[in-house]
Amino acid sequence: MTDELVKQDEALIKSFILNKALTLQDDKPLSDFYMWQHQVSHHVPVIETPKSGPVAKYISQLVDFHGVPQVKDCYANAVNLCQFSVTSGIRSGITVNYIEGYSLTDGRVLVPHAWNEYDGNYFDITMDQMESMHPDRKKWRTFYLKVIDLDPVEAWCYSPKRFEPLQVLHYLKLNRLPKKTLKRREPIIESHVLGQSEKSSPSP
């Protein structure tokens, strides 16, 4: 992806988030949440998932225990990989972090999404599975905007039983706000077709 496309995609998502913040002024907690997203989010490059080394080992353990990562289950996939990295790699310090934000496909379809990071490199096991099922998907341009970056223990503490977006919980904790502050889940469970009013299906 060229630098020009990166800037174009980032500006598109940032504009969408800022517009949500400004149009929801009658719902200040939700507006503040979007403004926080706008301030902290930034692009990260996602590379091919490692086929060897610690990450490949953790993925193999995840597949043995849970089966292959499921499309439309990115939050569980990312948190589960963190869990296996903790149980296998905590003594050596080789662990995988949990990343959450948005993915943008071909500058059009914006999807709340979760993926992982290891040793400064970002990778996406959910997208790997989607591309294995739909090879034509590799031709599409995918841009990633990171909102939160959690170490594996913190991610697991947020989501020990239920797998769901963690941005709201992290935002509330950072700002010392009660959970009831944000009752609506809309900020992080719906995807959008940018430039259109229609909303697409839930995130992968």
| Nearest partner of 76 among 194, 161, 191, judged by Cα | 161
Residue 102 vs residue 141, higher pLDDT: 102
> Can you give the pLDDT at residue 185?
54
> Can you give the pLDDT at residue 201?
39
Residue 200 confidence class, pLDDT cut points 50, 70, 90: very low
pTM of structure:
0.87
pLDDT at 168 over 50: yes
> Can you give the pLDDT at residue 15?
93
